Amino acid sequence: MSEILAENLSGKAVMGADGTELGMLYNITMDIKTGELYDLVVTPNDDLTSDQLGFDADEEGRLRMPVERVQAVKDYIVVKR
């Protein structure tokens, strides 16, 4: 995958590879020592729950999607469900 500046990802819509709009990117978690990225933290659309999508959620109900599931970043961040 080519390089993308994090500032260009803020507030970007997240979509499943099946075309389902999942929510908006809230943040990205990483290891501060190594710089390894862990999860996309996504505010889900109102009509979706973490149980429906198969992702873990944090205390605020935001979805945690492993970065390994990212398939593409263009108009949307596309993730494998």
For the stretch 14-43, pLDDT in tens is 999 999 999 999 999 999 999 899 999 999
Evaluate whether 56 touches 63 at the Cβ level (below 8 Å). Answer: yes
Evaluate whether 50 touches 60 at the Cβ level (below 8 Å). Answer: no
Six-digit token pair at 8? 């260009």
For the stretch 54-69, pLDDT in tens is 889 999 999 999 999 9
Torsion angle of alpha carbons 48, 54, 59, 60, nearest 10°?
A: -20
For the chain, which domains are there? Answer: 6-79 (2.30.30.240)
pTM: 0.84
pLDDT given for residue 11 in this prediction: 81
pLDDT given for residue 10 in this prediction: 75
pLDDT given for residue 9 in this prediction: 77
